[in-house]
Every structure is written in structure tokens, then in C-alpha cells.
Structure 1
């Protein structure tokens, strides 16, 4: 939390929440539901931030061919610029802190490992959910007709 507070004080041009979404979209995460899962937050919370990024011209929403309900998020050129500016601002905030650590490279490596471990964990959770059988109907309205 203290590290987040340090980054929040950076003149990044976007909030930390906006930065995280821009960064995930830049890395190929295209759907709000995937972003919500990755950030361990709700889809409505992500949608609220995405709405602001779209209104600011930093993200585009695009239809997915063959899936009328799906929407793909992409960075606009302004979004790429905003992401680059934020990355630079956050790096500048972190440099003095990293200079006080005995082995900053080891810390960054371990943080990357934690990120990968969390990704793997959420992927396994999503896989279990996808293969889990649907629960039986609990009300008459949920019972398919003809049964």
C-alpha cells in the first residue's frame, strides 16, 4: 500500500487504476472480463475505468468478428503516449527507492516471478470454472421446457 501511495504521487497523467488497464491492454489483454480477473476486481469496476479511458481517447472498443456480445479493447495512439508517459513517471518515482535497496535487480526479478505465479494461479482457476458442471436448477423457472 505504501508503494502504491508513492506511485500515486507521480505526475503520470493517468491514475494508477487507469495505468494498470492501459498496461494490460498493451500486453494483449483485450476484454474487460479478463482485465477484471487479472486485477482481482469486479467487471463493473473495470468498466467504469475503461469508460473514462475511452472518453479520454486513450482506448477504443471494437467488435469481435463472430461474437456480437464481445468487445475488444485496443490502445489508441494517444493511449500509447499516455502509457509511455506514465511508465516514465513511475520509473522516476521508483529510482530513488531502488537505489536504497541492496539488490534492486533481485527484487524486480522476484516481483516478475510473483506476477507470473499469480497469472498461472488465475489461469488454473478459470480452467476449473470452465470445466465445472453447471449446478442443477433451483427453481422451476430455471428448468428447461419439456422436462
Structure 2
């Protein structure tokens, strides 16, 4: 893992992390979170495409479903991702075509559709999880300073445990 105190010369610390200016602490923190999330997403896009052969948005659907063994309703997935249902329908169709999700009607609700991961998707996520986690760690380490990285890791239990183990 990269040394958190090292920053490439061409990559200054995020301006929102510096704490000076007009914004209150809550808005500075929000801006830092958005900026660091963007950095992580940018790095993950390539790795996700190489490892899972899906788009970043499709990967987010897989991640949501990975935490729900019984699956989720499409309306709930759309709500959690902040995506229009029509866009989600296309993404689910792509994932289903790739053999990564199943769709079924919800009993008692003719309009409800539930989506779940296939074993193939579970296997791919399990095989790729270490590389994906390392990509997240590297993106955070490169983008934000040591203090902000420590604060971000404290929000993420697995990263917080690793930090204390180092």
C-alpha cells in the first residue's frame, strides 16, 4: 500500500480538506467525501471492467445485491442508488444477459420484480474482492491527506481494523 504521507507532485491535497474558507465544517466534510468518492470511482471503473466485465453502475447493483442473499426489489435498488427505474431496468437486463443476476416477479404484486445474484456473480465478486478493496485503499491514499484518510477509514470498519493492525 502507498505511504499515506506521500503525495505525487502533480496531485495536491483536495482544497476542501484544508479547512479554510467560507464553508462550515459539515459542508467541507461533504465536499471532501464527494471528491474522494469520485477519485475512488474513477480508479474502480477500470478494475471493475477488467475483473467483472461490467460497467461501474452495474457493479454498484452487484454490490447492493451482494449484501442481500434473498435479493432486492428493483424499486428499492433504484431508490438506494438514486437512479431512474428505466435506467435500472436496462442495467438489470445487461446483468441478467451476462448471467450475473436473476429476476422474478414478487408474489402478490404483479408489478413488483425482485433481483438476486447468481452463483456466478457471487464467485466473481469473491475472486475480485481483494483487488477491488486494494483499489479503494490506493485511491483514498493518493487523493486525501493522512488525517482525512484516517477519518475516512474510521467510517469503514474493515479499513479501520487494518489501520490499527499496521
TM-score under structure 2 length normalisation:
0.58
Q: 2:40 and 2:141 mapped to 1: Cα distance?
A: 15
Q: Matches of residues 54-133 of structure 1 in structure 2 within 5 Å?
A: 54-99=96-141, 101-102=145-146, 104-110=149-155
* 1:7 and 2:49 matched: no
1:74-118 superposed Cα distances (whole Å, 9 cap, x missing partner): 111001122224433321223334456525453133368xxxxxx
Aligned Cα root-mean-square deviation (Å): 2.4
Q: Which runs of 5+ in 1 are unaligned?
A: 113-147
Structure 1 residues 110 and 95, CA gap change in structure 2 (3 angstroms): closer
Structure 1 residues 105 and 76, CA gap change in structure 2 (3 angstroms): farther
Q: Which runs of 5+ in 2 are unaligned?
A: 1-37, 158-166
Determine which structure has greater relative contact order: mean sequence separation of CA pairs < 8 Å that are 6+ residues apart, divided by chain length: 2
Q: 1:97 and 1:26 mapped to 2: Cα distance?
A: 22
Superposition misfits of 4+ residues, deviation over 4 angstroms: 98-101
Structure 1 residues 9 and 56, CA gap change in structure 2 (3 angstroms): same
Q: Matches of residues 21-60 of structure 1 in structure 2 within 5 Å?
A: 21-28=61-68, 30-60=72-102
- SS of 2:104's partner is strand
TM-score under structure 1 length normalisation:
0.64
- SS of 1:57's partner is coil
Contact 2:101 2:116 in 1 (8 A): yes
Query: How far apart are residue 47 of structure 1 and its match?
Result: 0.8
Give the total of aligned pairs: 112
Larger Rg: 1
